[in-house]
Amino acid sequence: MIRRVAEVQAEDVIPVLEERMREGAAYGDFQYMTDESSKDFMARGIISTYSPIDSQESISQDQLGLTLEDWMRLYVLAHTDKARAYDEYAAHYLQTDGQIYWSDDHQFSPYLPEAGEMLASRLGLETFASLMISELYVPRSRFPDFMLEARQALLDTEANVVYGTVRLIESEDETFLRWAREDYACVIFNLLVEHSAEGIERAKRQFRALIDCALDQDGCYYLTYHRWARKDQVEKAYPQFSEFLELKDKYDPGRIFTSEWHRHYVEMFA
């Protein structure tokens, strides 16, 4: 597969990704700037897409790539110097435009098992902190408005956005709790959350604000990353949720299949 890379503004993300799809791209995403001090925070980023090519095309032995050490350094910079992290990441990816990858290899990414401990040591954190992920879904036509609203919500709540991507997802009608009622833009946020009572409460406010932004744009959110959504948010995003719990008890009256997540919502909707 051939990688195509471009730096674009947020309002151009959906048109560019959809055009690349029409041209045959099978994979792709947009990684937005996370530097809250910049006017381009969440307004600019890097699009990378991958399109099939003739299997006879050879892969260069000296094409550019990032080592595990490079990724570790970028991971630290993403917490300590977001402007530099973006500039270095963007510069690298733009240089890889046109490189060729096997269809399975390009989907791999490095795993940093000691990332949390390393970061705590590098930053001298008194209270441990780690990333919490959340996915928000909005109609593609509403994506630019969502990004503006979410940007303001994150600034207002003083959220620390470390990493974020956008991809396109298609509607689905196979699940009872439908998470993609139409073709959506899926926006991913990774916020740094301090492991303290105050840090958790702050994270709740931040993620609830993001969910409100998605709901304001007739969107939705992914249910299972955390349990911080308010009941009214759950009901607006998943109006069939009460029925889901009732059917769960109908088909599993002994609650053989349960979890902290399930018990949380049983209590919420009691």
Mean pLDDT of 176-196: 96
Query: Does residue 224 share a domain with residue 206?
Result: yes
Task: Mark whether 134 and 25 lie in a shared domain.
Answer: no
**What is the predicted pLDDT for the residue at 106?**
67
Kindly write down the DSSP assignment for every residue of 239-264, as one continuous string. TTHHHHHHHHHHH-TT--S--HHHHH
Within 10 angstroms of residue 239's Cβ, the number of other Cβ atoms is 9
The reply to whether 21 and 95 lie within a common domain is yes
Cα separations in angstroms, 108 against 4, 104, 105, 119: 17, 7, 6, 23
In whole angstroms, what is the distance from residue 267 CA to residue 37 CA? 40
For position 201, which CATH number holds?
3.30.70.2520
The CA distance from 21 to 51, in Å, is 9
Residue that finishes a domain, picked among 80, 101, 123: 123
Based on the domain organization, do 12 and 34 belong to the same domain? Answer: yes
Query: Average pLDDT, stretch 81-90?
Result: 97
The alpha carbon of 167 is separated from its chain's Cα centroid by a whole number of angstroms, namely: 8
Full domain range(s) for residue 229: 126-233
Residue 188: phi and psi, rounded to 5, are -105, 135
Same domain for 182 and 151, yes or no, is yes
Measured distance CA(160)–CA(96) in Å, rounded:
29
Of the three residues 123, 140, 156, the one that is the final residue of a domain is 123
Q: Are residues 68 and 163 in the same domain?
A: no
Same domain, residue pair 132 and 225 = yes
What would the pLDDT profile of 17-71 be if each residue is shown by its tens digit?
Answer: 999 999 999 999 999 999 999 999 999 999 999 999 987 777 777 888 888 889 8
Select from 84, 106, 123 the last residue of a domain.
123
17 and 86 co-located in one domain: yes
Rounded Cα distance between 57 and 59, Å, is 7
**Per-residue pLDDT at 263:** 97
d(CA 133, CA 186) in angstroms, rounded, equals: 13
pLDDT greater than 80 at residue 101: yes
Instruction: Examine the domain organization and report whether 99 and 131 are in the same domain.
Output: no
Same domain, 113 and 131: no
Instruction: Tell me how far apart the alpha carbons of residues 100 and 168 are, in angstroms, rounded to a whole number.
Output: 22
Which residues are registered as beta bridge partners of 166? 30, 187
Q: Using CA atoms, how far apart are residues 52 and 207, in angstroms rounded to an integer?
A: 37
Residues 190 and 220 in one domain: yes
Q: Global pTM?
A: 0.93
Total tally of structural domains belonging to the chain? 3
263 in the same domain as 172: no
Q: How far apart are CA 263 and CA 207, in angstroms?
A: 21
Give the pLDDT confidence score for residue 269 in this predicted structure: 97
pLDDT in tens, 227-258: 999 999 999 999 999 999 999 999 999 999 99
